[in-house]
Amino acid sequence: MSDLKEPGFAASNIIAGLGDAFDHLSEAQKKAQIKKTNGIFELRVSKDEKEATWTIDLKKEGAISKGPATGKPDVAIILSDGMP
């Protein structure tokens, strides 16, 4: 999912890979994961005074998108892009 990649952020490669994995789940697998997890996760990654944000929706869609969550996420994860 190249649309999930953010130039200059190594973490975006991992997030894009996770997005690809979600895309390959069957609808039944997505529904099962949504039922187990039931949450919206917002990942905020900072690097060199810049920030990139992704949302993992495991409450309704079973998908990952670039940008902040609509409304308040259930979990916000804030980390640094310290990967080489």
Q: Is the pLDDT of residue 14 over 60?
A: yes
- Residue spans of the domains in the chain: they are 2-80
At 12 the pLDDT is 92
Q: Of the CATH numbers 3.90.79.10, 3.30.1050.10, 3.40.50.11740, 3.40.50.1220, which one belongs to the domain with range 2-80?
A: 3.30.1050.10
Give the E-state strand segments of 23-67 in sequence order: 39-47, 50-58, 63-66
Q: What is the pLDDT of residues 25-59, one digit of tens each?
A: 999 999 999 999 999 999 999 999 999 999 999 99
Tell me if residue 49 falls in helix, strand or coil: coil
Q: Is the pLDDT of residue 83 over 80?
A: no
In this prediction, residues 12-21 reach a mean pLDDT of 93
Backbone angles phi, psi at 46, to 5 degrees: -110, 150
At 82 the pLDDT is 78
